[in-house]
Structure 1
């Protein structure tokens, strides 16, 4: 065999390379046009979000670095000049305003002294309510995913609490948890549910769980309906019992939807305001960070802006932990899935 037989024709190789490059360019052109159209269509929405969300956030951050100098003769807040990080230090290190114009350690019951207790209450309500809503919502989703007569009516009935406005729900439970309300009469007790610390906290937890569990059930149901029925049938043929099918099939395959549901509900619970505010007004150590922000607004916008910025950072860090370490990515693209698979 001659050496020339192994040599390739340079002209043929150049022609093949040209055809391949032309094919790649022709395939890339529609994708580029699609991306350009997507950018133009999203531009108005992004601009609106920058105006509606971006400006208030930036404005609050700027205000948080200014002092509160009290009220003028007309009852408006007066700007007191630059404050640096003093507003943040006042909240984080419990430094309140002193009569001489300086700062001193916050006295018990003073508004600034409630920051860490409000933070603890916020996380307590979030952890307990999200855990209960996840467990009960999972159970509801499994029931709604089954085929039986009247399934549509059951689904509609389960979603009713979520459809009721939160303020209406809070007022409803306010009357139910009254001393002579339905709860005490059903249990045969005489508990001041909104008059002491732990009964008040459990009243908030029960109310919020009743209100928001259908939301969790709806999102988990969407994940359950994506699981092929053939997988369960194959597991039954292999002799897997109900618990093994739940542990080895249902939980792993519903995990993406479950984590997204927990993420959304956690972020919502960290901003809890209207339900505890209507039920207890933040009394009996039931105040949350959002309630504390509203209370602080009445004393000064700038320090309230610092507190709202701290709240935003806390919620952002929680969301980052969920997305980065727990896999709760609601916006994962197909490219991201391919990279993760590799």
Structure 2
């Protein structure tokens, strides 16, 4: 029994949610205005990207659906160029180029990650002349790739310094595996500092108090690296590896200058340029470029879904 005129408790319990909903409704216009303002800020960038990236991609996809005639207008053939590239007369070149590209990607990324991690660990330590060491380490990364390729081609020449140091006469660009490993070595030398730079940025976010607590608990250097350094720097490693994978999957200039694609060193990007410019087959070249884009996109998507998103969202199961 309630007194007459007393507020009903049920009315009070329902008033708060109604008020909250009203407050939420009042806040929505502000959020929508912020969203519209953000959209107008981003719109110029989207327009530029659509013109610089979107139009060429769409144009290449459309051109890949036409043949490559001589002396007549191109005719629509649908997926004919793709079928010819994957299972037809161009299949051998395509799969060989894909295999070479994947070899370069796998070997260079692994080597660069190991060497870059070691370089970052050294540069992260406090010692006299650390700033000079950091500057010197980044010099290879600052050198243009074309210049780097010419320098290392001279170094791996039959009369170059590499053969002089090993005391053997190796034709590094004259056969398949020496040429491939020479390219891997040159690419690793150039871009390992890039990995080191990103990993070093991740290392500098780790508090030294964590290491001090681990030392007090009796953890050795290896245990501290495995249990503290590696889990906490893993997001930086994920980003660095992703960038390098996307870069190596599109590699062109280094093997082009080194071997011109000879001795099974031709990559997908080199095959695209060869078909489009060398053989004057715009349709086939567009199909190959589209396939290259799809391969790069799928590799990045699988990498992010399997490892990247899990780590970057904090679900990697690292040290607590």
Using structure 2 for the length normalisation, give the TM-score: 0.91
1:283 aligns with 2:281: no
CA deviation vs aligned residue, 1:260-290 (integer Å, no higher than 9, x gap): 1111101100000000000100001100000
For the Cα contact (< 8 Å) 1:133–1:209, is it kept in 2?
yes
Determine whether 1:80 maps to 2:59: no
Secondary structure of the 2:178 match is helix
**Residue in 2 that maps onto 1:307:** 288
CA positional deviation for 1:23: 3.9
Contact 1:138–1:216 (CA<8 Å) still a contact in 2? Answer: yes
Q: What's the offset of the Cα at 1:203?
A: 0.7
Say which is worse superposed, 78-87 or 218-227, in terms of deviation. 78-87
Give the alignment of 1:169-248 within 5 angstroms.
169-248=148-227
Q: For the residues of structure 1 that align with 2:110 and 2:50, how far apart are their CA atoms?
A: 34
Measure, in 1, the Cα distance between the counterparts of 2:13 and 2:80.
71
Residues 305-338 of structure 1 show CA distances to partners (whole Å, capped at 9, x for unaligned) of 00111111111110011110112589x6xxx669
Residues 128-143 of structure 1 correspond to what in structure 2 (within 5 A)? 128-143=107-122
CA contact (8 A) 1:232 1:245 kept: yes
State the Cα distance separating 1:202 from its structure 2 match: 0.9
1:21 is aligned to 21
Counterparts of 1:1-342 in structure 2 under 5 Å? 8-9=8-9, 12-13=12-13, 15-25=15-25, 27-70=27-70, 72=71, 78-95=72-89, 113-297=92-276, 298-299=278-279, 300-327=281-308
Q: What is the distance in 2 between the residues matched to 1:194 and 1:47?
A: 44
Given that 1:184 and 1:191 are in contact with CA atoms closer than 8 Å, whether structure 2 keeps it comes out as: yes
Determine the C-alpha separation between the residues in 1 that align with 2:32 and 2:99. Answer: 49
Kept in 2, the 8 Å contact 1:64–1:87? The answer is yes
Further displaced range: 248-257 or 271-280: 248-257
Deviations 1:2-37 (A, max 9, x none): 677x98445544553454334434555544333222
* Separation of aligned partners in 1, 2:111 and 2:314: 31
Greater Cα shift, 229-238 or 275-284: 229-238
Contact 1:161 1:210 in 2 (8 A): yes
Aligned residues of 1:193 and 1:203 also touching (Cα < 8 A): yes
Aligned pair count reads 313
Q: Which runs of 5+ in 2 are unaligned?
A: none
Deviation at 1:80, TM superposition (A): 2.6
- Structure 1 stretches lacking a partner, 5+ long: 73-77, 97-111
Question: Structure 1 residues 67, 257: closer, same or farther in 2, change over 3 A?
Answer: same
The structure-2 alpha-carbon separation of the partners of 1:328 and 1:212, relative to structure 1 and needing over 3 Å to count, comes to farther
The alpha-carbon deviation at position 228 of structure 1 amounts to: 1.6
Q: Distance in 1 between matches of 2:306 and 2:7?
A: 54
